[in-house]
Amino acid sequence: MPREAQQQCLARTSNEATELLNQELSAGERRASLRCECGDPSCEEHLEATHAEYEAVRAYGSHFIVGLNHENPESAWVLSENARHAVIDVVAGDARYQVRARNPRHAWTDADDWSP
């Protein structure tokens, strides 16, 4: 797996745990920030996102939430951005396959294992 894609998947896994904690908050409590899901292992940026924004990113296995200007134009497209973060789509061949395959919200199955 490309190193950048591996880093993105690690950050996504961390953010999934953070978002589970955020869902348990009472009204008015401050949400925990999310890790930038860029492919730079030295990145320490944290992002603010609403639950709805976060869920919109997680609806696609190749989408990641990153800091502004943290995208790698050689492997990802910027889909949207606001003052707090950007949403990218990993489009590079093997990296796209790998980040989708490691999406914790999607269980891939082999066609040979499927039976009616």
Q: What are phi and psi of 91, to 5 degrees?
A: -115, -10
Confidence at residue 13, expressed as pLDDT on a 0 to 100 scale: 96
Confidence at residue 77, expressed as pLDDT on a 0 to 100 scale: 97
Domain range summary for the chain, segments of one domain joined by +? 3-104
pLDDT tens string 4-31:
999 999 999 999 999 999 999 888 899 9
pLDDT tens string 39-76:
999 999 999 999 999 999 999 999 999 999 999 999 99
Gap between the Cα atoms of 59 and 63, Å rounded: 8
